Structure 1
């Protein structure tokens, strides 16, 4: 597809707001991995996307989460399941690292609780407000064919944030999820699916898995999210 060949140029335009650290890493920024590109971790809005590390005794896993309010990170519920079948893993084992890249990060916040806002969508309440800007929640009304952006810490490149800037909302599945063609794999669970609102990017859904070759995302309820964020 032509849009895939154009993806690196598009992502470089999206990530122009580079700090000194990102500028020094410019040789890696914009590198293509299939349909994805590596982005500068301290460029807006990507700095609000972070690795969600979950650590237990001899067990480690990671997902992706997005800061949607100073003290709230949005991710997928199945990322937070207990290691021995419990409904939730203990919050003190969950660490949110926005702007994570190769062992470095902009901030480190620990979970103190969870607020489900959908079947899979969950807000992780953090131990304090982050100092970086959060990403807004999109209003309803996204239609099939809408251009999407998906950002995550994919399993094959888990040390850097990659973005698919040229994917699409394909339509609704029978269980109320979005079908999409973003290159999302393991590690991308909880990753934001963003749309361009004209005023900037906003989170419209979160990636929750795949069904065959098609990605699945849970759309967000914009009426419920701001109410929780204002608490």
Structure 2
């Protein structure tokens, strides 16, 4: 996974004490992982892995930056990507290759993504065959997550790549345009991991992990608010598009001084 400098957020956010936050729990057994097998490990050719999640039987949602070579900036060919649904201790509930990958039309990979691109850091992957298993049920989408809301995350990551880990309770501690600032625990390999909220006893997606960062010296995560961007990506998908559309890099003003905000590059896990 690519190594990018830590982001420091000076947004006037107070980092609250969150005594109810849960620790990461490894889902190593069949009982532990029941209900979470739609989360899978994405193998990216020879460049590592990300996390992905089924949103339809044949469609995986992940972070757009996972689909690019760090050094060249070129797209990774879809046929080099494999989705291992429910990967746990050397076995998956289902194995699928990817036939088509569609990224958000406003996402432009630079290798050093600034914070303002987190809002577009989404991609959908069409599998070569749908996964239709009772134990692998796609996640639904939720909308309207607010600061202070409880969320959770399921992810693979560096040092815990052989089984997913669940953090049942973390929080939305702030928002930027198109971006949720999260207290969730993530690391390299967590990119594309589903951030969910519970509705009527069932987890529903509100975000995917885009980057890890720091707020007042404490590790946090940045997630793409999927409410509107996901509709854009699915519209591209439904039109049959599978190519990235290059856009001009966004101009970003850095302000120094009291009350200002200075952004340094985020780490994309």
Task: Tell me, yes or no, whether TM beats 0.5.
Answer: yes
How far apart are 1:228 and its partner, in Å? 7.2
How far apart are 1:41 and its partner, in Å? 5.5
Give the distance between the partners of 1:217 and 1:228, measured in 2 at CA: 21
Root-mean-square deviation (CA, aligned residues, Å) is 2.3
Partner residue, 1:90: 77
Q: 2:56 aligns with which of 58, 69, 73?
A: 69
- Residue deviations 1:44-73, cap 9 Å, x none? 4311000001113xxx30110001001100
**Runs of at least 5 residues in structure 2 that lack an aligned partner in the other structure:** 1-17, 105-118, 240-269
| Higher helix proportion | 1
Answering whether residue 50 of structure 2 is matched by residue 49 of structure 1, we say no
Q: Is the 8 A contact 2:64 2:122 kept in 1?
A: yes
**What's the TM-score once normalised by structure 2's chain length?**
0.67
Alignment partner of 2:141: what SS? coil
Identify if the C-alpha distance between structure 1 residues 90 and 229 changes in structure 2 by more than 3 Å, giving closer, same or farther: closer
**What's the TM-score once normalised by structure 1's chain length?**
0.78
Q: Is the 8 A contact 2:42 2:84 kept in 1?
A: yes
How many residues align? The count is: 197
How do 1:1-231 residues align onto structure 2 when only pairs under 5 Å count? 2-4=19-21, 7=22, 35-39=23-27, 40=29, 43-56=33-46, 60-82=47-69, 84-117=71-104, 119-131=120-132, 132-138=136-142, 140-173=143-176, 175-212=177-214, 213-221=219-227, 224=231
- Residue deviations 1:160-188, cap 9 Å, x none? 11011110011113x53110000111111
Asked which structure has the greater CA Rg, the reply is: 2
Q: Is the 8 A contact 1:82 1:90 kept in 2?
A: no
How far apart are 1:230 and its partner, in Å? 7.7
How far apart are 1:137 and its partner, in Å? 1.2
